[in-house]
Structures are given as structure tokens and as C-alpha cells.
Structure 1
Amino acid sequence: MKTLTATDIVQSEGEQSIETKRRNAIKGAFFSEYIDMFDIYLPVVVLSPVLAFFQPPHLSSGMETILASLVFITTLLGRPIGALLFGMVADRIGRRKASIWSVSGFGVVTLLIALLPGYESIGIMSYWLLVLLRFVDGIFLGGGYTGAMPLAIEYSKKEQRGFVGGFIIAGFPAAYVSINLVAMLMFALFPLSGMNSPYAQWGWRIPFVLGAVLAGILAMYYVHKVAESEIWKSEAADKGNQPDKLPLTDLLRGKSGRNLLQVLVMMTGFWLTQNIITIFLPTGLLVKTLHLTGFQMTSTLMITYFVLFFSYIGSGLIAQAIGRRRFFAIVGPLIATVGAGLLYVLANVDGLSLPAIIAIVCVLAVLVTSPWGVIVTYINERFVTDVRATGFGVGFSLSVIIPSFYAFYMDWLSAFMPLRMTSVVLLCIGGLIGAIGALMGPETKDVDF
């Protein structure tokens, strides 16, 4: 029997310490994505039925649509700003601090939204406060992952980075399922029947308070459990005597600038395909074309997102085995062919049974959104430590803007083809752009940080 020496004990404790740091950083990134998406879906799922609580009565349907869209668009506009600001904080001051500040920020803003009075109390100011707070919320949400995700990937073992990236992004479907379960519970406990009903007056506030509490718990988790990235600390120490420069300066020039352009091209394609599945499919196809009831649509999406939790992790593992660039190059054309074919069936074949619709939607969603199980790891691997958080944040968030106007592109395309075909064409275009963008860059799975 071997006797442990003092050296063995110190070495064991050191290894255990690094392993603990690794686990805590990965769990922190997963819950950061989970709470980020929980907050994103709050107004979509919980607030949509009672937006009239903040608006003047007797609005035209067109004006109601415009005011409703502003609540969501302003959050979208805030995300790239937050990704840039907090990305620079993460690269200059530390990933951990950026995570704590951003999570604390959207926790406070979410709580303030829960306390907002309605139109009857302060008039139209109620609506504009909601829009302003959602914009500020978007800034903090955009910064939420620029620190947490690079921190987790930098702590990950090279051979496990694929799994870690897929696991982190699996927080997205987990949050979607959770917020829908919370919303269903609220609707059951506090019936919605007009603006004076219990749900309209205060029932919708409970999920927002829950979101704020979750953010507070996550902030405390980072304060007490998550250590700063060893890779970032080592790089910062090496550059300690050099003059300070904004990470954005280094990001936009030379090799990093070319890397950013490549990531933006790739992500523009995959954001377009993602928006077709996560936004257009539920609202424009399942309801308006297939005429599913609210219960049928919710059931379909809940099953789909449950499956996506595991498929994201699977995508990360597959890409770890065959290469991330190769994965994108294979999946992009598959989205443009098989995915487009499945979407065509949903949009044009009449008489599909509900089980058939659920099966097609699940297969379609798994295929089209599979790149997202790889994207977190890949983008972090494309940038050096000095600009990794800024590059990840800008590459991930700025690329969402052009694809977000997919409805306008569908309207333009409808002048040349039936409206039902426009989403199929956009899915083809998005898949091909994503593949081309990936082929513009190198393989990254063996990159050393």
C-alpha cells in the first residue's frame, strides 16, 4: 500500500481545486443562459396577453401591433450594445466581474418591471417605462453571456469543450419549458378575464419577481462559487506593463478583424434559420396556417423544446468528434434541403394529424437548430484571450439584427412566389450562408487557449 507524501496531498488538492473551479464555471454559464432566456421569454409568454394593461384603451389593431412589437424590438436592440460593453469589461477587468454586474443589472430591471403601475394609474408613461426598462434589460441580458460563456469554455478541457458548449446552450430550451409551465400555473391560479381580472392586475408580476430572484441567486453564486478564468489572469499578468487599449481596437483589425467578419457571416445565416423555427414557426405557421389551438401549439412546442435540450448536447458531442467546421459544412446544406423540405410539408400539405405535426416539428427543429449546440464553443475558439469575450459577444449578438427582419423579407419575396413558400426559401438561404461562413474559417477543435 502506497503512503501518501506531502507532495501527493498538495498535488491532489490542487487538482481538486481546478476541477471544482471548472464545474462551478460550467454550471454558472448554464444557469446564466437559462436565466437569460427565462427573462427574454417573460414578455413573450407572460406579458403578451395583458399588454393592454399598459396601453390606452380603444386602440386600432394596427397600433396595438406596433406598440406590442416595440416591447420586444427594444430588447433586441439593447442586446448588441450590452454584448459590446460587457464584452470589453470581461476582456479588460475579468469574466467573473462582467458576469456579476450584468446578472445583477437584469435582476434589478426585471424586478422594476414587476412593480410597474398600469395605464389607469400614470397614463401612457406606463407603456414608455415598460419599453425603456426592456431596452435596459436587453443591455444587461446581452452582457450576461459575454463573461459567463468564455469563462466556462476557458476552464473546460480541450476534449470536453464540445460537450460544455452544447450543455450551456441547452439552458435555452430548459428556460422555454420552465417559463411556459410557470405561465400555465399563473393562468390556472389567476384567471384572465379583462384588465380588472386577478392575472391582469398582479398575476403576471409573479413570474417577473421569480426572474429577479433567480438573477439574484445567480449573482451570489458567481460571487461565492465561481473563480476568475486562470487563462485570462495569466494573459492579463503577461500584459500588465503594457498600455491599456480597448479590446474593440484589437478586435476590429488584423487577424481578429477577419475572424469577426467570418463569424458574423456564419451567424447571420444561422440566426436566420433559427428565427424561422423559433419565431415564425409557432406564430405564423402552427397558428395561422395549421390552425392549432392554444393547447395544441403549447403541447407541440413543449415536446419540441424538451427534445432540443438533449439534441444540443448531442450536436456538441458530434462536432467534437468530427470537427466543428465540418459539422457546420454538413448541417448547413442539410438545413437548405431536408429542413426546407420538412418546412414545405408543414406549410403546404393539408390534413396532417397532430402527432404527425409534432413529429415533423421535432425533427425539423432538431436539424435546423443543431448548429447552436456547437456555436458557443466555436466562436470562443475563434478569438484570442485578449478579445475573446468582446469577439464572442459582438459576433453572437450583432449578427442577429439583419435576420430579425425576416418578416419583411418574406413580404418582399411574396411578390414573386406564394407566401407559404417564402419561409422555405429563407430557410434555404440561411442554411447556405451559415455553411459558407463556416467554410471561410478554419477548424478549431484542437485550438489551444
Structure 2
Amino acid sequence: MTSTDSHQAPRVTDAEAGRIAFAAFVGTALEWYDYFLYGTAASIVFNRLYFSTGDPVVATLAAFASFAVGFVARPVGAVVFGHVGDRFGRRRSLIITVTMIGVVTGLIGLLPDYTTIGVAAPVLLTLLRVLQGVAVGGEWGGAVTLAVEHAPPEHRGRYAALPQVGSPIGTLLSSGAFTLVSLMPPEAFDAWGWRLPFLAAIPLLFVALYLRRRVEESPLFTVLLEQHERASLPALEVLRNSLGRVLTGLCASLLGVGGFYLLTTFAISYGTETLGLPRSLMLSATLVAAVVEIAVLLVFGRLAERLGPGTVCVVGSVASAVMAFPVFWMLDTRSAPLVVLAVTLGVACLSVPYAVSGSLLTELFPPHLRYSGVSISFNLGGVVSGFVPLAATSLMAAGGGSGAVALLLVGLSALTAVGGLVGGRLRVRDEVSVV
């Protein structure tokens, strides 16, 4: 069912919309860089230096559990920063989130390991991951909300896709950083080399802050402010009156987030620990996949303007389900070209629904609840997605093999297809005029 919102926002040009979307993209890329560093480090560093046990499988499970905790914390950030964004402004909330995640990531790079401070090391690492999750919980929803509310209605697909490009750029930066430091001798890498990508978050924070401070407030939020049409408790109102929309957004988000971590974080661990493949090969595969993902996001973001984001979401979900078993068959060959192809094809397919997540989720909620609604939906999906690497590792440990992991990817694809199908019929429109 489609409804029309009556809010009239100030007129916005395409040039202005593009500038705001680009600023949102750059800030989001820096945030995802910080967040993805943890996923890569959980696969190749934290399982050895912070969760040290006699059993490497148990150590990996513990590292992935700490990885998942960050996703559990994300709905908290969605509620807190959604409240700030819907009550006091999208821009203000985004400045707080980027500062928080940059500081936390830098602190991870300074944290002593298990051999130095014992059990306090994994405890403090997990706490920092929680704080990181809280910050990211308010980031993505605010970035896409700001981009969409500055965009002309007929061009929302392309501008909503730009913050999504922050994800592969963050992957390129984080994987590239770890690829470089992994060239160091193992002793130097374990002693201090792995810390350098985390410490780089501090100077990057100043870049992000400069960009965020130059972004103007959403024109739709300005109208809401003038008309005093803000919810007193937006998160509560979303959960009370729009739970079906929240669940729809949750499902639509699963493949783009959970599938991504399955084919990056889990695949890196599976390739190096189970298949005995070089760490550099698995990291290189994620780099190639990230480059391809950028093109996929931009193309299908524009295509959503013609077909609708719900339709594009369904198409990408079906493609991901079809490719699930071939992807893991290629990984199991241990052939370097096929391994790179497997990760690239898998990530390309799941990037199709991810390309339209911004436009699909923002149109599920009216402007006065949008930041909260989008953030809660996306990050509840993130809670489920954060446990995907842990679930995949458990399936492998239980003897399920790569076929069981492929079935997990098929399940995520099916749920995302349902989210896209329903979400396409629940769109709430608002008007931002173009000069």
C-alpha cells in the first residue's frame, strides 16, 4: 500500500543532493573501515592473541562471538542516536557517531594482548567492540536518511546508493591495510604490525569530522522543526505503531549484511584455517570483490529508480540463492583463481539488494520517525547477521561441511526476498522539490 506524506521541504537541486550524498558516503566509508577492521582481525589476530586456548576452533569461535557482540549492541545505538536524529537533527547525531567509533577503534589498537594483561585483554576488547557497535548503530540509518532527504524523489535510488558504497570502500581500506601489514615478518606482525590499521583511525577521524561538520541539516527535518512535528519518543512510536515495517526492513537487510560477513569474515577464516589457503589470497579475494561491489551498487541503485527498490531486492536475493552452492564448491577447489572468483561472484550478487537498502528502508517510514525506523530495522537485522560467521563456524565444527554453510546463505536470501517483496508495497512518500 502506498501513501503520500504531506510535508513540503525546501527545494533541492541535483547538485546539492549529490554533494550531500558524497559527504555522507565519505563519512560512512571511514566508519565502515573502522568497523570492518575488527572482522578481519577476528579471523587472523584476535583468535590467537586475545582468545588464546589450546583448541584453535574454540579460539576462533570466541573471537567471532566477540565480533557478534558488536551487532547485539547496534540496536542500542539505533535507539539512542535515532532519538537524537529525529528530535534534534540528523547532522548532530552523525557527528557524535563518527567521533565515538574513531576513538574506540584507536583504543583497540593500543590494547595489550592476553600474554600481557591476561583475561582482562579479551574482556576489554569485547567492551570496546560493544561501544563500537553502539556508534555504528546510529551511523548508517542517519547517513542514508540524510542522503535521501536531500535527494529529488525521482533520483533517490542513486543518492541512497552512495552511502552504500562506503561499505566496499571500507572493505578496501581495511583489507588493504591488513594486506600491507601482513607482509611483515610474523613476529613483528603479532607484536605491533596489526595495530597500525587501528591506530590509523585517529587521523582519519579528523577527516571525517571535517566532512560531517560541512554537511547541512536535512531540509525535511528543518520543516519538521518549524512545524513542531517531532515525536517525543520516536523509537517507542516506531515499535508500537510500525512493527510490521520494522520486521520488513529487518528481512530486507539480512543478505546485504549477513551474507557479506559470510563471504568475507567467515570465508577468510574458512580459507586459512580449514582449507589451508594463504592469508594473502583470502584478503586479495575480498579486495577484488569490493572493487566489483562498487560498480554493482552504483548500477543497481540507478536501476531501482526505474524498477523500484523492492523488485531489485528480490532479483538480487534470487541470484544469491542460485549462486550459494557454486560459490562454496569453488572455494573448496583451493584453486586461487576460483577462490577469487567465488568470493567476487558471491559478494556481487548479495550487493544487489544491499544497493537498494537505503531507498527501500527510508521509504518504509514517515520523516518524523525515519532516522529511528531505518536504524532500528537495519540494526535488528544486523543482530542476526552478526552471528552468521559464528553460526557458519559452528556448522562446520559439527560436520555439516560447506554445503551446510551454503544452505545458510540460501536461507538469508529467501528472507531478504520476502523483505523486498513486502517492502516494495509499503512505501511512504514525501516530497523534496527540485529547482
Tell whether the structures are fold-level matches, with TM greater than 0.5: yes
Q: Is the 8 Å Cα contact of residues 103 and 218 (structure 1) preserved in structure 2?
A: yes
Whether the aligned pair in 1 keeps the contact of 2:52 and 2:59 (CA below 8 Å) is no
Tell me if the contact between 2:114 and 2:121 (Cα under 8 Å) persists in the aligned partners. yes
Aligned to 1:233: 222
Is the counterpart of residue 339 in structure 1 residue 334 in structure 2?
no
* Cα contact 2:264–2:343 (8 A) shared by 1: no
Q: Distance in 2 between matches of 1:357 and 1:120?
A: 35
CA distance in structure 2 between the aligned counterparts of 1:411 and 1:108, rounded to whole angstroms: 30
Once the two structures are superposed, the pairs formed by residues 277-288 of structure 1 within 5 Å of their partners are 277-284=263-270, 286-287=271-272
Are the aligned partners of 2:254 and 2:385 in contact in 1 as well (CA < 8 Å)? yes
* Structure 2 stretches lacking a partner, 5+ long: 1-9
Task: Provide the rounded CA distance (Å) in 1 between the counterparts of 2:387 and 2:409.
Answer: 14
Unaligned stretches of 5+ in structure 1?
Answer: 1-13
Distance change (3 Å), C-alpha of 1:24 and 1:410: closer
User: Is the deviation greater in 403-412 or in 64-73?
Assistant: 403-412
Q: Percent identity?
A: 25
Change (3 A) 1:94 1:56: closer
**What letter matches 2:185 in structure 1?**
P
Q: Given the alignment, which residue of 301, 309, 329 partners 2:294? A: 309
Superposition misfits of 4+ residues, deviation over 6 angstroms: 411-417
Deviation at 1:414, TM superposition (A): 8.2
Please say if residues 13 and 152 of structure 2, whose CA atoms lie closer than 8 Å, have aligned partners that are also in contact. Answer: no
Partners of 2:252 and 2:313 within 8 A in 1: no
Whichever residue aligns with residue 245 of structure 1, its letter is S
1:206 aligns with 2:196: yes
Task: Trace 1:289-304 onto structure 2 (pairs within 5 A).
Answer: 291-304=276-289
Match of 1:448, SS state, is strand
* Inter-CA distance 131–324: structure 2 relative to 1 (3 Å threshold): same
C-alpha change, 1:123 and 1:229, in structure 2 (3 Å) is: same
Which residue does the alignment assign to 2:345?
A: 363
Q: State the match for 2:186 in structure 1.
A: 192
Match of residue 402 from structure 1: 384
Alignment of 1:243-392 (within 5 A): 245-254=232-241, 256-268=242-254, 271-284=257-270, 286-287=271-272, 291-336=276-321, 338-343=322-327, 345-346=329-330, 350=333, 353-392=335-374
Deviation string 1:233-289 (CA, Å, 9 cap, x unpaired) is 10122126x8x62001221233x33322222233345544444333333333x4466
Question: Separation in 2 of the partners of 1:354 and 1:410?
Answer: 22
1:440 is matched with 422
The residue number in structure 1 matching 2:98 is 103
Give the superposition deviation at 1:391. Answer: 0.8
Report which structure shows greater RCO (CA 8 Å, sep ≥6). 2
CA distance in 2: counterparts of 1:227 and 1:56, whole angstroms: 44
SS of structure 2 residue aligned to 1:435: helix
1:222 to 212, 224, 232: 212
RMSD (Å), alpha carbons: 3.2
CA distance in 1 between counterparts of 2:51 and 2:317 reads: 46
Distance 1:185 1:333, change over 3 A: closer
Deviations 1:312-361 (A, max 9, x none): 1111112222111222233323332x32352354266x5x7433443343
Partners of 1:47 and 1:265 lie apart in 2 by 26
Pair 1:294–1:110, CA change in 2 (3 A): closer
Which AA in structure 2 matches 1:174?
I
Report the CA distance between 1:121 and its aligned residue.
Answer: 4.9
* One of 113, 117, 125 as aligned partner of 2:108: 113
- Work out the CA distance in 2 between the residues paired with 1:229 and 1:382: 18
Q: Contact 2:43/2:266 (CA < 8 Å) preserved in 1?
A: no
Supply the distance in 1 between the matched residues of 2:61 and 2:219 (Cα, whole angstroms): 47
Residues matched between the structures, number: 422
Equivalent AA in structure 2 for residue 68 of structure 1? A
